[in-house]
Amino acid sequence: MMVRPLTRGSLLVSIAALATACTSGNSAIEPGFTSVNVSTLAKLQFAVGTANIGYPGGQFAGLNTVVTFRKANGGSGTAVNSPQIVGPSGFLVPAGELESDGTANADAGTNTINYTPQAGGPETTFQTNGQATLYGFGPNNYDTSGTANFGNYTLPFYSDQIPDTTDSGGYPASAFYGMPPAWPAAPAGTGFPGYNLGFVDFATAPVSGTYAVNVLVPVSVGSSQKSATYSTSATLNASHVLPALAAPTFTFDSTGTGGTLAATIPAGVTEVIVEFTDTTSGFAGTYLFTPTSPAPQTIADGDAGAATDGYTIAAVGFDYDAFGPSAPANTQQTPSITSSAGQDDITTSPPVTVIDSSVSAAHNRHARIVRRR
Where helices occur in the chain by DSSP H, the ranges are 8-21
The C-alpha R_g of the chain, in whole angstroms, comes to 22
0.85 cut: is pTM over it? no
Which amino acid appears at position 27 of this protein?
A: S
Q: How confident is the model at residue 219 (pLDDT cuts 50, 70, 90)?
A: confident
Report for 1-10, 12-21, 99-108, 340-349: range of highest mean pLDDT: 340-349
Domain segments of the chain as ranges:
8-22+40-369
Q: Is the peptide bond before 156 cis (omega within 30 degrees of 0)?
A: yes
Report the 10 Å Cβ neighbour count for 364: 15
Q: Where is 283: in which H helix or E strand?
A: none
Phi, psi of 157 (to 5 degrees): -60, 150
Task: Indicate the range of 49-63, 99-113, 128-142, 198-212 predicted with least confidence.
Answer: 99-113
The Cα–Cα gap between 155 and 348 comes to 11
The Cα–Cα gap between 30 and 361 comes to 77
Q: Which residues pair with 250 in a beta bridge?
A: 261
Tell whether the model's pLDDT for residue 204 goes beyond 60. yes
In the three-class reduction of DSSP (H, G, I as helix; E, B as strand; rest coil), residue 35 is classed as coil
pLDDT, tens digit, 9 for 90 and up, residues 18-42: 333 343 333 444 444 455 788 899 9
Specify the higher pLDDT residue, 163 or 267: 267
Specify the higher pLDDT residue, 143 or 343: 343
Phi, psi of 16 (to 5 degrees): -65, -40
Q: Which conformational region is residue 189 in: left (phi greater than 0), alpha (psi within -120 to 50 degrees), or beta?
A: left
